[in-house]
């Protein structure tokens, strides 16, 4: 268990005060934008001395109170809105209230406790992700304030969900931007000694919560997995960048004749094979370890054909400087995958890149299909599931997009 902590919180009057510059967009913040950038805040010596993760009162340039923010002078996002009530008390009860709201939504959406419980800003906990795997929850604190409040978050999480184990995952890309380390650990209870079975869309996934990618499983693709499962009856399926078998196992649950999972990680493929075995479909499931671009090229040389091909790569354009290179990579994936799709088959292409919006990603994908000499008809556009809600004022929360085409 975590060490005892004080559930008391500093009164708003005792918090430091930070102030917007006259040219800062105070209206956007009042209308729901959750971030203050470093060039929008007065950063005098006092502000620069504030410890990362400290809560402070935000004022506009006329000294009008705007709410409570978490400050990190080391980050380009120097302040994150925590509560628009400047008198709010950020104590154990406050965290429990936020978590109860998040839990109430998931209870309406799902009949089993396997989902993303907290999706950062959209659930009122900026820079914090919490995925739930039954009695175990995995927290990814991607902002300094989330890191400094881990003990109280862990206590609130156990109180609200009844979780017996809480883990910390430190693999988030933005942690380095916040000046945070990459040290994971156990916050409460005992870490699972083996992968956790996660039932989803009729499939069984094996999630490694301590040694796997991210928090152990990608819940965001759940509705897109279901869409593919609905197309899979009798189909030959190719799942590229499969991780633990996301699309391939869902397709087998939907009646696919066969599924081939391709990933660079043998450990992930081993977990996918364990999932197929737990489902009783091992006779229809195969894996192939290797670089996706090389495997796609090799499969074409072998004359392989599939009725459904899905490519779900990592973020090729995680930030704007990588956008052009990322779009070229998405185009290349589409160009290599399209020839493997049988006539009138389905090609699904996915992007989790924050910097590439849907229009840019779709254009790159269609261009790649065309360069392969194939013609596409767009039949479906997919996004993350409702346990990954979007904050309308923050485009980054709508990062996942998928296009499904008949080829």
Cross-strand pairs, 71: 54, 79
- What is the arrangement of strands in the sheet containing 165-168, beginning at the earlier edge strand? 114-119, 128-133, 136-141, 165-168, 185-188
- Quickly count helices (H) and strands (E) in the chain: 12, 19
> What 3-state class would DSSP assign to 260?
strand
Alpha carbon distance, N-terminus to C-terminus of the chain: 54
Structure tokens belonging to residue 379:
């039949």
CA dihedral 395, 219, 342, 333 (to 10 degrees): 50
Catalytic residue annotation: 352
> What 3-state class would DSSP assign to 350?
strand
Length of the chain: 407
Q: H or E element: which one contains 261?
A: strand 258-263
**How far is Cα 114 from Cα 201, in angstroms, rounded to an integer?**
11
* Angle, helices 246-253/266-279, rounded to nearest 10 degrees: 10
**How far is Cα 135 from Cα 158, in angstroms, rounded to an integer?**
9
**How far is Cα 370 from Cα 310, in angstroms, rounded to an integer?**
17
Structure tokens belonging to residue 342:
């049988």
CA distances from 304 to 132, 170, 297, 307, 337 (A): 38, 39, 10, 11, 11
Q: Among 86, 289, 114, which residue's Cα sits nearest to residue 204? A: 114
Q: Among 110, 93, 50, 106, which residue's Cα sits nearest to residue 74? A: 50
**Contact at 8 Å (CB) between 214 and 169?**
yes
Is 110 buried (19+), middle (13-18) or exposed (0-12) by CB count in 10 A? Answer: middle
**How far is Cα 7 from Cα 334, in angstroms, rounded to an integer?**
52
């Amino acid at each position: 268990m975590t060490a005892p902590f004080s559930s008391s919180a500093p009164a708003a009057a005792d918090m430091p005060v930070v102030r917007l510059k006259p040219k800062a967009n105070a209206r956007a913040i009042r209308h729901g934008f959750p971030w203050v950038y470093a060039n929008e805040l007065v950063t005098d010596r006092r502000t620069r001395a504030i410890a990362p993760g400290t809560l402070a009162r935000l004022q506009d340039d006329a000294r009008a109170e705007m709410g409570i923010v978490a400050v990190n002078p080391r980050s380009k996002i120097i302040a994150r809105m925590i509560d628009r009530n400047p008198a709010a008390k950020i104590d154990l009860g406050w965290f429990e209230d936020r978590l109860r709201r998040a839990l109430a939504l998931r209870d309406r959406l799902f009949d089993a406790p396997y989902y993303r419980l907290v999706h950062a800003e959209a659930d009122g906990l900026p820079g914090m992700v919490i995925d739930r795997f039954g009695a175990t929850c995995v927290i990814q604190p991607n902002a300094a304030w989330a890191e400094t409040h881990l003990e109280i978050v862990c206590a609130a999480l156990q109180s609200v969900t009844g979780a017996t184990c809480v883990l910390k995952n430190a693999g988030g890309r933005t942690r380095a931007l916040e000046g945070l380390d990459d040290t994971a650990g156990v916050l409460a209870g005992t870490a699972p000694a083996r992968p956790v079975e996660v039932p989803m869309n009729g499939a069984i996934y094996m999630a490694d919560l301590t040694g796997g990618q991210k928090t152990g499983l990608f819940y965001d693709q759940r509705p897109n997995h279901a869409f593919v499962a609905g197309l899979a009856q009798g189909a030959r399926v190719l799942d590229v960048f499969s991780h633990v078998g996301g699309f391939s196992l869902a397709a087998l649950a939907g009646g696919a004749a066969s599924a081939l999972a391709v990933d660079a990680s043998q450990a992930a493929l081993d977990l996918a094979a364990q999932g197929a075995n737990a489902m009783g479909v091992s006779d229809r499931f195969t894996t192939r370890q290797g670089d996706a671009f090389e495997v796609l090229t090799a499969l074409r040389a072998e004359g392989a054909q599939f009725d459904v091909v899905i490519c779900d790569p990592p973020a090729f354009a995680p930030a704007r400087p990588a956008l052009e290179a990322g779009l070229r990579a998405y185009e290349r994936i589409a160009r290599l995958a399209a020839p493997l799709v049988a006539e009138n088959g389905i090609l699904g292409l996915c992007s989790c890149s924050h910097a590439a919006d849907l229009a840019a990603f779709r254009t790159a994908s269609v261009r790649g299909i065309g360069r392969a000499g194939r013609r596409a008809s767009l039949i479906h556009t997919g996004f993350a599931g409702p346990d990954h809600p979007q904050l309308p004022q923050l485009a980054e929360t709508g990062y996942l997009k998928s296009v499904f085409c008949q080829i």
